[in-house]
């Protein structure tokens, strides 16, 4: 067996933190990680936020982002320890032997230069190719990565191409100097699912065809399972499990890995519609002030008491606009909304207090949904006081009850939002909504900012609370796994229209319309070879047509 291309031994990484009110001090964020990567192989690094995966990826280029410093261990690339190399030698390594693809291509491209200038810059700078050859190579890569008009796209500026295309340009940038190793840092996370699958396939084929080795960093195990040979599961800067992809996905040993593999397998049986819907949206058409096109066209959906309607779609589908229309933040141009048997006034400013109380909302970013200067007690207590006139001991008793319901407990009552974790914050927001004793809660992407396991906890809590409080959810999300886990009815939205609507089983069972088919088949599954299967199916279908 040949020598590993990248050999990491007992890697330790530290950072300086600046907590408010305390002296800045150093902490260790990666505690002794070791792995090998053979030439031409792909190692997936997976973990939730704070696991140290990006930091480890960048250490293969001897680079620390922000105040991050590599404090110990060895990183061998092509037979030399780069942590002991001089800066000049490291610069020859960066952009030549090892290259990097970041999560946000839109931010990683210099807005003032053309794409081609930036794609060939490293190749020319490192003396790998002449400018002419590098440009020819870049055009070939654009073609291979499935970019439109590969001969001319390089002369455009970054803002002139779409997000998915720019992510492929970034991949071309990384592959252009013929590196030995590419570090992919969440390259598809910022993309919509239907775009993600194409970029993923393009990256996979490019890796296979060029024979380059790769570190593939992501928080999504299903994605990494499609492209990796080996997988390392990380948590809090330590290795949880390290093995080949088959073993990790099919026979995970550690409890944490098992949880990651089985994430989003919540079982929720679909409920049949009852007679009277709590919310009926009828023929809603809406546009934003000062714009000339409608973002919602003739939308009709119903939500039944104690049930969940999932509104699913990609960015720009109009799903969040629908929430704004229902809450009365954006009065529609046409159509009516019926809520609990009465017609809702379009503008929330003119709605009755009863209407406002019975229709609550939970936001995506719990961080900014709570006033940082108020304690948890104040946040949950205000609706009690405002809607029910509760005061003193009575109010406190109810706050404690609510804190128990969201599984936090009385000790949280005097804490500030800054002292809570992401999941705890979202729980407090749930309690605030429940405090109003609503008939219905709009949940706007409430789990998408959370790590998968935390998100699972929130979904379970929401389902549980639905049983106890008999509250209906309008659940807005882009994540189909969440939809499957929680919904009774589903509305698939595309370009401001409801594309498909009905009971969960009905919506998720073929025959599909084209868009729903594309959307459903694009969601990564926790299964080896899924990506190839989907692509092969699509090719067959298009050949059949």
Q: Which listed residue (25, 86, 373, 467) binds other proteins by CB under 8 A? A: 373
Distance between the two ends of the chain, CA-based, in angstroms?
Answer: 47
* Token code pair at residue 311: 């509104």
Q: What residues numbered 28-67 form the site for other proteins, per CB under 8 A?
A: 61, 63, 65
**Does 369 engage in binding with other proteins (CB under 8 A)?**
yes
Q: Is 191 helix (H, G, I), strand (E, B) or coil?
A: coil
Quote the least distance from Cβ 503 to other proteins, whole Å: 30
Residue 127: which of 170, 100, 96, 98 has the closest Cα? 96
Pick the closer one to other proteins by CB: 225 or 428: 428
Pick the closer one to other proteins by CB: 89 or 541: 89
**Does 126 engage in binding with other proteins (CB under 8 A)?**
yes
**Does 353 engage in binding with other proteins (CB under 8 A)?**
yes
HEC profile of 487-530: CCEEEEEECCEEEEEEEHHHHCCCCCCHHHHHHHHHCCCCCCCH
* Token code pair at residue 200: 């993923």
Pick the closer one to other proteins by CB: 256 or 348: 348
Distance, C-alpha 500 to centroid of its chain = 24
Q: What residues numbered 496-525 form the site for other proteins, per CB under 8 A?
A: none
Pick the closer one to other proteins by CB: 1 or 112: 112
Q: Going by C-beta distance under 8 Å and a sequence separation of 6 or more, which residues neighbour residue 340?
A: 278, 279, 358, 439
Stretch that binds other proteins, among 5-13, 15-23, 131-139, 535-543 (CB under 8 A): 15-23
HEC profile of 224-250: HHHHCCEEEEEECCEEEEEEEHHHHHH
Quote the least distance from Cβ 326 to other proteins, whole Å: 11
Stretch that binds other proteins, among 113-121, 267-275, 301-309, 446-454 (CB under 8 A): 113-121
CB neighbourhood size of 269 (10 A): 7
The answer to whether 119 touches 172, Cβ cutoff 8 Å, is: yes
Length of the chain: 545
Pick the closer one to other proteins by CB: 3 or 354: 354
Q: Which listed residue (252, 306, 318, 417) binds other proteins by CB under 8 A? A: 417
Q: Name the one residue in this structure whose structure tokens are 């108020």.
A: 374
Pick the closer one to other proteins by CB: 370 or 492: 370
User: H or E segment at 465?
Assistant: helix 452-469
Q: Which listed residue (256, 338, 388, 416) binds other proteins by CB under 8 A? A: 416
Q: Which listed residue (45, 68, 76, 109) binds other proteins by CB under 8 A? A: 109
**Does 96 engage in binding with other proteins (CB under 8 A)?**
yes
The answer to whether 346 touches 331, Cβ cutoff 8 Å, is: yes
Report CA-CA distances (Å) from 7 to 60, 236, 273, 332, 487. Answer: 9, 21, 58, 59, 46
The answer to whether 340 touches 439, Cβ cutoff 8 Å, is: yes
**Does 419 engage in binding with other proteins (CB under 8 A)?**
yes
Q: Which listed residue (36, 74, 254, 367) binds other proteins by CB under 8 A? A: 367
**Does 24 engage in binding with other proteins (CB under 8 A)?**
no
* Token code pair at residue 479: 């994540």
| Interaction site with other proteins (CB under 8 A) | 18-22, 61, 63, 65, 90-96, 99-100, 102, 104, 107-113, 118, 121-122, 125-126, 156-157, 159-160, 173, 327-329, 348, 351, 353, 356-357, 361, 363, 365, 367-373, 382-383, 386, 416-419, 432, 436
């Amino acid at each position: 067996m040949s020598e590993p291309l990248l050999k990491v031994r007992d890697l330790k990484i530290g950072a300086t933190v600046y907590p408010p009110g305390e002296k800045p001090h150093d902490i260790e964020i990666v505690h002794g990680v070791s792995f090998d990567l053979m030439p031409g192989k792909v190692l997936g690094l997976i973990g939730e936020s704070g696991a140290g995966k990006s930091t480890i990826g960048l250490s293969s280029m001897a680079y620390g982002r922000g105040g991050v410093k590599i404090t110990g261990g060895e990183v061998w690339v092509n037979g030399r320890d780069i942590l002991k190399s001089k800066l000049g030698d490291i610069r020859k390594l960066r952009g030549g032997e090892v290259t990097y693809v970041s999560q946000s291509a839109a931010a990683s491209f210099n807005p003032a230069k053309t794409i081609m200038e930036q794609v060939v810059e490293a190749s020319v700078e490192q003396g790998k190719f002449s400018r002419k050859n590098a440009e020819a190579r870049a055009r070939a890569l654009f073609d291979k990565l499935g970019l439109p008009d590969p001969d001319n796209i390089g002369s455009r500026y970054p803002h002139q191409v779409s997000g998915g295309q720019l992510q492929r340009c970034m991949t071309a940038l990384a592959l252009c100097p013929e590196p030995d190793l590419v570090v992919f840092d969440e390259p598809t996370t910022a993309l919509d699912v239907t775009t993600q699958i194409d970029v993923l396939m393009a990256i996979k084929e490019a890796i296979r065809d060029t024979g380059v080795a790769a570190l593939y960093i992501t928080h999504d195990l299903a994605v990494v399972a499609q492209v990796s040979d080996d997988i390392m599961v990380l948590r809090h800067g330590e290795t949880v499990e390290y093995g080949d992809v088959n073993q990790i996905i099919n026979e995970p040993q550690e409890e944490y890995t098992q949880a990651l593999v089985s994430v989003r397998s919540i079982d929720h049986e679909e409920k049949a519609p009852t007679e009277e819907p709590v919310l009926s949206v009828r023929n809603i058409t809406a546009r934003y002030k000062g714009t000339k096109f409608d973002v919602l066209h003739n939308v009709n959906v119903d939500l039944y008491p104690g049930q969940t309607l999932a509104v699913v779609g990609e960015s720009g589908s109009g799903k969040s606009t629908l929430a704004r229309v229902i809450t009365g933040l954006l009065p529609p141009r046409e159509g009516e909304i019926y809520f609990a048997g009465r017609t809702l006034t379009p503008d929330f400013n003119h709605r009755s207090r009863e209407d406002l109380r019975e229709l609550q909302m939970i936001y995506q970013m719990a961080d900014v949904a709570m006033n940082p200067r108020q304690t948890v007690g104040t946040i949950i207590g205000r609706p009690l006081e405002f809607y029910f006139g509760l005061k003193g001991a009575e109010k406190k008793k109810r706050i404690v009850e609510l804190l128990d319901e969201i599984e936090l407990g009385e000790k949280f009552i005097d804490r500030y939002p800054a002292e809570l974790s992401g999941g705890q914050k979202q729980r407090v927001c749930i309690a605030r909504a429940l405090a109003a004793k609503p008939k219905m809660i709009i949940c706007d992407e409430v789990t998408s900012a959370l790590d998968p396991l935390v998100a699972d906890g929130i979904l379970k809590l929401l389902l549980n609370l639905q049983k106890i409080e008999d509250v209906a959810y309008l659940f807005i999300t882009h994540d189909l796994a969440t939809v499957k886990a929680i919904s009774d009815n589903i509305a698939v939205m595309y370009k401001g229209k409801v594309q498909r609507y009905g009971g969960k089983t009905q919506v998720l069972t073929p025959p599909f319309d084209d868009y729903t088919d594309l959307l459903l088949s694009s969601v990564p599954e926790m299964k080896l070879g899924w990506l190839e299967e989907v692509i092969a199916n699509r090719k067959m279908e298009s050949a059949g047509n």
